[in-house]
Amino acid sequence: MESNKNIKVCHFSSVHSIHDTRVFSRECVSLAKYFDITLIAIGNFSGQKQGVRIIGIPEPKTKLERFFGTTFRVFISAIKTEADIFHIHDAELLPFALLLGLLGKKVIYDILA
């Protein structure tokens, strides 16, 4: 596969941690070899790590806060990246995925096993 760092990919989650190896290592670090990758997820670190730009979002205290506050917060952070492709895992982010699609953005939704 040819490297194309001109393509921005934003991987965002309101559930997974920035330290989740399935998301960070297996997906984001692997893709960072070929694309400009940003990971937005739960954690207290923001910066660059192994070629991935990380934006940490504070962990919500309750499920209600996660559903109403954190989902909106990660979505707003994702929009600000001006990515070409958005990648999500969380079903609670599907309304935002639909909105991104209506805005003409490419969205990938998959479920981690």
* Structural contact between residues 9 and 105, judged by C-beta atoms closer than 8 angstroms: no
- For residue 24, the model assigns a pLDDT of 94
Task: Please report the pLDDT score of residue 67 as a whole number.
Answer: 79
Q: What is the mean pLDDT of residues 43-49?
A: 96
Residue 33 covered by a domain: yes
Looking at the DSSP bridge assignments, the partners of residue 108 are: 87
Average pLDDT, the chain: 92
Residue 65 has a pLDDT of 83
Does a structural domain hold residue 37?
yes
Question: How many structural domains are present in the chain?
Answer: 1
Structural domain that includes position 66: 18-109
89 in a domain, yes or no?
Answer: yes
DSSP 8-state code for residue 95: H
Residue 47 Cα distances to 18, 44, 61, 99, angstroms: 11, 10, 23, 27
Query: Which helix (H) or strand (E) is 40 found in, with range?
Result: strand 36-42
For the stretch 51-105, pLDDT in tens is 999 999 999 888 888 878 999 999 999 999 999 999 998 999 999 999 999 999 9
- The predicted pLDDT at position 112 comes to 63
Q: Quick one: pLDDT at residue 2? A: 67
Domain assignment present for 93: yes
pLDDT in the model for residue 12: 96
